[in-house]
C-alpha cells in the first residue's frame, strides 16, 4: 500500500461548533502528510460550519450519506425517522454515519476524530502505517467481568457485534477498541458491509439500523480481530495518544491548568468531553501556548 490517502472524519453539530473550530485549527497546524478533513453535520447546520471550509476541509451534510428512508423530522431533536426500521436515536445515527463513510468517501485510511479533540503536537499519519499495515487501537482483555459489571452497556455492544458478525457468544474477556483518533481501512470497511449482509441476508444499512445498541468501534474491532484475523491488514497498538477527560463534571481554571500540565510527552492530542460543558474559549489559550 503506497502513497496512502488519509481522510479525517468528524461528525459534529451546532452546539459543538466552537470545539470543532478549535479542532480544525489544530488539524491545519499539526497534521501531515496531505489529508482531507471531512466534517459531517446536519443540513440545517451547513451555513454555520461552512466557515471552516478550506482547501483541505470539506463540510458534508449527514443527509447526503444516509439512504432516502432515513429522514429528519421537523421539531424532533432526539432522533431520526426510519421508514424501514425503528426510530433512530441521534447517538446511534453517529455510529451509522461513521460506518457508512466508505460508500461516500474514497480515501485509503479513515482517521476518526470527534470534535471535542484538539491536536497539540505535530502528527504524521504515516506513523500509523507499518509495512503496509494500519494501526488499530486495541486494549487486550479490557472488558473483563469487573469492567462489564461497572459498565454493562459494553456487554450489550459486544453482543450486538457478535450477532451482526455471526459469531458465537463473545467471551467477556474481550479486547477494547474505543478511544480517540481511531484508524480504519476503507477496504476492510467495505468487507464488513459484505460480511454483515452475508450473515443477515439483507442490506447492511438496514441491518445496522435495526440494532438498539451499537458501538461502531467495537463492531469494526471484533470484525478485524475475530473474522479477518491475520488477513486484516492491521497491527494492534494499545498506546493512548490522546490525553482524555471523560467526566461530565466541569473543571475549574486551576483544574484545567493541571489537566494540561499532566499531558504525557507521547500524547498528540487532548480530549475534553463536550458533556462536561466547558466553554472551549476557557482552554483555547492553554492549547495554543502548549
Taking only the tens place, the pLDDT of each residue in 168-182 is 876 555 789 999 999
Cβ atoms 80, 93 nearer than 8 A: yes
Domains in the chain: boundaries: 6-288
Cell numbers 421537523 label which residue?
Answer: 74
Nearest to 68 by CA among 217, 186, 209: 209
**Average of per-residue pLDDT across 206-226:** 95
The per-residue pLDDT for 232 is 96
Instruction: Give the model's pLDDT for residue 170.
Output: 61
* Average pLDDT of span 96-111: 97
What is the pLDDT at residue 146? 82
How much is the average pLDDT of 153-175?
Answer: 84
User: For the chain, what is the mean pLDDT?
Assistant: 93
Q: How confident is the model at residue 217 (pLDDT cuts 50, 70, 90)?
A: very high
User: What pLDDT is attached to residue 73?
Assistant: 85
CATH for 6-288 is: 3.90.550.10
So what's the pLDDT on residue 155? 86
Q: So what's the pLDDT on residue 78?
A: 87
Percentage, residues of the chain above pLDDT 70: 98
Predicted TM-score (pTM) of the model is 0.95
Region for 234 from its dihedrals, namely left if φ exceeds 0, alpha if ψ lies in -120 to 50, beta otherwise: beta
Share of the chain above pLDDT 90, in %: 85
pLDDT at 189 over 70: yes
Residues 229 and 222: beta-carbon distance below 8 Å: no
Q: Is the peptide bond before 33 cis (omega within 30 degrees of 0)?
A: yes
Q: Can you say whether residue 229 is alpha, beta or left, with left for phi > 0 and alpha for psi between -120 and 50 degrees?
A: left
Checking if the pLDDT of 85 tops 90, the result is: yes
pLDDT (average), residues 114-132: 96
Number of other residues whose CB lies within 10 A of the CB of residue 129: 18
Confidence of residue 143 (pLDDT cuts 50, 70, 90): confident
Report the DSSP beta bridge partners of residue 184: 110
Q: Please check the confidence at residue 101 and state whether its pLDDT lies above 70.
A: yes
pLDDT at residue 276 above 80? Answer: yes
Separation between Cα atoms, residue 33 and residue 5, nearest integer Å: 9
The pLDDT-based confidence of 95 (bands split at 50, 70, 90) is very high
Residue 28 pLDDT class (50, 70, 90 cuts): very high
Which of the four pLDDT bands, split at 50, 70 and 90, describes residue 2? low
Whether the pLDDT of residue 56 is over 70: the answer is yes
279, pLDDT greater than 70: yes
Q: What is the pLDDT of residue 289?
A: 78
Position 1 pLDDT exceeds 60: no
Decide if pLDDT at 149 tops 70. Answer: yes
Amino acid at each position: 500500500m503506497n502513497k496512502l490517502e488519509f481522510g479525517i472524519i468528524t461528525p459534529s453539530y451546532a452546539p459543538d461548533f466552537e470545539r470543532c473550530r478549535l479542532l480544525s485549527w489544530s488539524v491545519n497546524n499539526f497534521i501531515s502528510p496531505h489529508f482531507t478533513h471531512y466534517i459531517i453535520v446536519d443540513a440545517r447546520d451547513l451555513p454555520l460550519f461552512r466557515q471552516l471550509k478550506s482547501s483541505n476541509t470539506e463540510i458534508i451534510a449527514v443527509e447526503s450519506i444516509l439512504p432516502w428512508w432515513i429522514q429528519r423530522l421537523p421539531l424532533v431533536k432526539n432522533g431520526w425517522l426510519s421508514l424501514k426500521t425503528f426510530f433512530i436515536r441521534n447517538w446511534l445515527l453517529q455510529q451509522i454515519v461513521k460506518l457508512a463513510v466508505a460508500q461516500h468517501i474514497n480515501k485509503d485510511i479513515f482517521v476518526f476524530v470527534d470534535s471535542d479533540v484538539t491536536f497539540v503536537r505535530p502528527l504524521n499519519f504515516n506513523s500509523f502505517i507499518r509495512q503496509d499495515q494500519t494501526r488499530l487501537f486495541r486494549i487486550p482483555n479490557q472488558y473483563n467481568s469487573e469492567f462489564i459489571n461497572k459498565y454493562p452497556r459494553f456487554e450489550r455492544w459486544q453482543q450486538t457485534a457478535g450477532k451482526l458478525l455471526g459469531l458465537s457468544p463473545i467471551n467477556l474477556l474481550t479486547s477494547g477498541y474505543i478511544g480517540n483518533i481511531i484508524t480504519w481501512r476503507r477496504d476492510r470497511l467495505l468487507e464488513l458491509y459484505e460480511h454483515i449482509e452475508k450473515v443477515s441476508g439483507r442490506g447492511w444499512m438496514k441491518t445496522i439500523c435495526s440494532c438498539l445498541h451499537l458501538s461502531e468501534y467495537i463492531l469494526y474491532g471484533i470484525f478485524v480481530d475475530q473474522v479477518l484475523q491475520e488477513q486484516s491488514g492491521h497491527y494492534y497498538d494499545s498506546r493512548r495518544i490522546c490525553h482524555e477527560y471523560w467526566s461530565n463534571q466541569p473543571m475549574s481554571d486551576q483544574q484545567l491548568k493541571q489537566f494540561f500540565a499532566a499531558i504525557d510527552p507521547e500524547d498528540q492530542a487532548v480530549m475534553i468531553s463536550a458533556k462536561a460543558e466547558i466553554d472551549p474559549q476557557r482552554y483555547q489559550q492553554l492549547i495554543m501556548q502548549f
